[in-house]
Structure 1
């Protein structure tokens, strides 16, 4: 049975907490009027399908989403035999469907209680017993094909919500989005290391990351959190910033640090970088101009990971106007947008992935 044969009851959409005050404007741009809040960041958009998006650019605010093919509004903690009843209902609804794996997560990922985390794990275990062909493949979130269909399920005190979607279309390998990556211990240079780690994990939805040994040009590197993460992945890094890097990076053999203003940096004439990382503070349009200026030093097909920051912009219209302005400038300079999203380590900003054409 193909996924297209399933009846759809709207979409389950995740909007990051940082944008919760703009949800009305986001939904208006998406053409959504009937919603129910679920968990901390989720919304059941009952009058929405992927084909009905009124403004495609506004989809950048949808951190993760699936069609709702099965919904059971209830309170699992007060439901006797919830796991067995839920598993049997999923078998009845999705039995015979060709999916690569079945993944179950919790609606409120930040909940202090571990109840729903354990419930999600136990429910997945029982469901896989009822889907032996899926269980035999042994696929987890990390081993999925981003373009093949997965049965995603989320469970919380608001009930159970399931839908079939490819990880790429859902915008994440895990139920709810990207993989949580710990920031490290007290010896971690900065939280930015987890930020680039999450970005490279997300990138796998669309293309492979540069192989080990690739040469990155990093703009706005200080204090070196992202630099450290790239070095730990066996990349070579040319890091540029007018502020110094953390002293712990001083003797890294794979690192060349150039202490100057990014606007004054000139790469050697023969330099050709495999990837460029830009996490500059300040206006996004100005930062993109530096990327465009240095793009001739990127190899063909070279990757750009760009943090699109929005200081002072508090409206959906303002954010989308800026995204369009920055991405249009990049496109005109021969940089193709591969993907754009809001990650868990992003604040009031987006991460944009581009390739040199």
Structure 2
């Protein structure tokens, strides 16, 4: 495979919840801002691109893309944009041997669908010009093989070749749309665990069908419902009541108790653990570490690190640093730390029980 060229600039997506802290975040990453794009993208130059993989501050960057081709223009006012852009992409990346091509809009939250449709049309035309890509569906990508990602918006076209793990997501822009039917959805937390299970595939397989999850702080049951819908069994622990719609669900055991008072039998084991508990993050992690003794070796832990009480990214980083150290000391290996689309002022830690 041809070597991926070095990029002069990058697109970094900083979530809206941290937007006012963008100068601090970019400074910690050694990034020099060039231009704001869309609602939450920054075009930057980096002193050392490796910081996007190595720095703890990278947790505040939802998605990152090396820019190997940029065409500043206004597509909405340009006749024949799709054809011209597709031909330019072919000329630039025709020999790249990318595993797939995926496109998306820069303005992901825009109410007007023009650029979403434009991105779809651009992908369709470009696929007609290229030799067949081996991967057709987003979920089938190899996290370690390069994909050609293209974003389009009122500022123009921006393309880059990178592996999904390097970009921090399988989808262009890093966001997977998760439908939330207001009539059937118990809470928005269901979308959070759905996204988390999608994200972790950048690093390891998700738990197998029928796996038994221990969920801490489960009420009212948004995450529980999502896990059950995926064919998992769940033991849900919370002193508060669960949604009545869950009480007849097969595969669910509800424990109405404080998490710190929950004592599984010595023989009881779980395949995965999920914690979205409110309150002090350190106290929540202590309960996770205690109950991880009931996890099988290699089990996945998904832990929401709540930022309550922190007023700046620096303080949240310090909290995350302490959480990582405590987890490692407790026999839980840190796999990744990121800000999910459905997170608020919090980060999600992915851990694995090693002992």
Q: TM-score range by the shorter chain?
A: over 0.9
Aligned mates of 2:313, 2:98 — CA distance in 1? 36
Please list, as runs of the form range in 1=range in 2, the aligned pairs for 1:234-313 lying within 5 A after superposition.
234-313=231-310
Give yes or no for the alignment of 1:195 onto 2:192.
Answer: yes
**CA shift at 1:246, angstroms?**
0.9
Asked whether the equivalents of residues 33 and 42 of structure 2 are also in contact (C-alpha less than 8 Å), the reply is no
Aligned to 1:63: 62
Cα 1:190–1:52 change in 2 (3 A) is: closer
Aligned to 2:22: 23
* Residue in structure 2 matching 1:166, options 163, 167, 170: 163
Report SS of the residue matched to 2:277.
Answer: coil
Asked whether the equivalents of residues 214 and 270 of structure 2 are also in contact (C-alpha less than 8 Å), the reply is yes
**CA shift at 1:3, angstroms?**
3.9
**TM-score with structure 2 setting the length:** 0.96
Deviation sequence 1:313-344 (CA, Å, 0-9, x none): 12121111111000110001010011111111
Report SS of the residue matched to 1:118.
Answer: helix
Unaligned runs of 5+ in 1: none
**CA shift at 1:185, angstroms?**
2.8
Aligned to 1:40: 39
**CA shift at 1:285, angstroms?**
1.2
Aligned mates of 1:327, 1:313 — CA distance in 2? 17
Asked whether the equivalents of residues 104 and 123 of structure 1 are also in contact (C-alpha less than 8 Å), the reply is yes
* Residue in structure 2 matching 1:337, options 331, 334, 349: 334
- Number of aligned positions between the proteins: 354
Aligned to 1:120: 119
Aligned to 1:224: 221
Asked whether the equivalents of residues 30 and 48 of structure 2 are also in contact (C-alpha less than 8 Å), the reply is no
Moved over 4 A (4+): 52-55
Deviation sequence 1:245-286 (CA, Å, 0-9, x none): 111111223111111111111111101110000000011111
Give yes or no for the alignment of 1:2 onto 2:20.
Answer: no
Report SS of the residue matched to 2:145.
Answer: coil
Please list, as runs of the form range in 1=range in 2, the aligned pairs for 1:80-95 lying within 5 A after superposition.
80-95=79-94
Unaligned runs of 5+ in 2: none
Aligned mates of 1:356, 1:309 — CA distance in 2? 21
Cα 1:153–1:49 change in 2 (3 A) is: farther
Aligned mates of 2:136, 2:266 — CA distance in 1? 46
227-236 vs 21-30, greater mean Cα deviation:
227-236
Give yes or no for the alignment of 1:151 onto 2:152.
Answer: no
What's the Cα RMSD here?
1.5
Report SS of the residue matched to 1:46.
Answer: strand
Report SS of the residue matched to 1:72.
Answer: strand
Give yes or no for the alignment of 1:140 onto 2:117.
Answer: no
Cα 1:104–1:236 change in 2 (3 A) is: same
Asked whether the equivalents of residues 99 and 135 of structure 2 are also in contact (C-alpha less than 8 Å), the reply is no
Deviation sequence 1:171-190 (CA, Å, 0-9, x none): 11110003111122313211
Give yes or no for the alignment of 1:355 onto 2:352.
Answer: yes
Aligned to 2:343: 346
Report SS of the residue matched to 2:157.
Answer: strand
Cα 1:36–1:208 change in 2 (3 A) is: same
